[in-house]
C-alpha cells in the first residue's frame, strides 16, 4: 500500500532501469480479507500499464524531472490477456496486452 510516486521521488537518484507494470487493487476483496488473508485470496492483480491504479503521468514526471536516461521495459503479467502461449508461439491476446501498454505509455515518453 505504498505510494509509488513518492517512492520514485525518494529514490529517483537510484533508478537506472524501470519495469513498467501496473497493479489493480481489488477493494471489495481487500476490505473483506485484509492484506494478509488466511486463504491467500489475492486483493490485487498485475495489469498492463493504464489498467491499474498507478498515476503514470506523475510517475513519468518524476523520471523526466530527474533527467532519467535508463531503460524502460513493459512487464506483462496481466492475466486478462492470457493465455500467453499457444504451443511455442505467443497468442494474439497476449501480444495485444503489449500493444495496449505501449500505446498508452507512448504519450509520456519523449521522442
- In terms of residue numbers, what domain contains 66? 4-108
Q: Which of 74, 75, 93 is nearest to 84 (CA)?
A: 93
Confidence bin at 110 (pLDDT 50/70/90):
confident
pLDDT, one tens digit per residue, over 35-91 is: 999 999 999 999 999 999 999 999 999 999 999 999 999 999 999 999 999 999 999
pTM for the model: 0.87
The count of domains in the chain is 1
SS3 sequence of 25-75? ECHHHHHHHCCCCCCCCCCEEEECCCCCCCCHHHHHHHHHHCCCCCEEEEC
Q: Please say if the pLDDT value at position 1 is more than 80.
A: no
Contact between 12 and 63 under an 8 Å Cβ cutoff? The reply is yes
Amino acid at each position: 500500500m505504498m505510494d509509488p510516486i513518492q517512492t520514485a521521488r525518494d529514490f529517483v537518484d537510484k533508478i537506472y532501469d524501470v519495469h513498467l507494470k501496473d497493479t489493480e487493487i481489488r477493494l471489495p476483496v481487500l476490505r473483506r480479507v485484509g492484506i494478509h488473508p488466511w486463504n491467500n485470496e489475492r486483493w490485487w492483480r498485475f495489469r498492463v500499464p493504464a489498467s491499474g491504479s498507478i498515476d503514470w503521468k506523475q510517475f513519468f514526471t518524476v523520471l523526466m524531472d530527474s533527467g532519467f536516461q535508463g531503460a524502460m521495459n513493459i512487464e506483462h503479467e496481466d492475466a486478462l490477456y492470457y493465455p500467453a502461449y499457444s504451443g511455442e508461439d505467443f497468442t494474439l491476446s497476449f501480444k495485444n496486452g503489449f500493444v495496449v501498454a505501449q500505446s498508452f505509455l507512448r504519450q509520456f515518453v519523449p521522442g
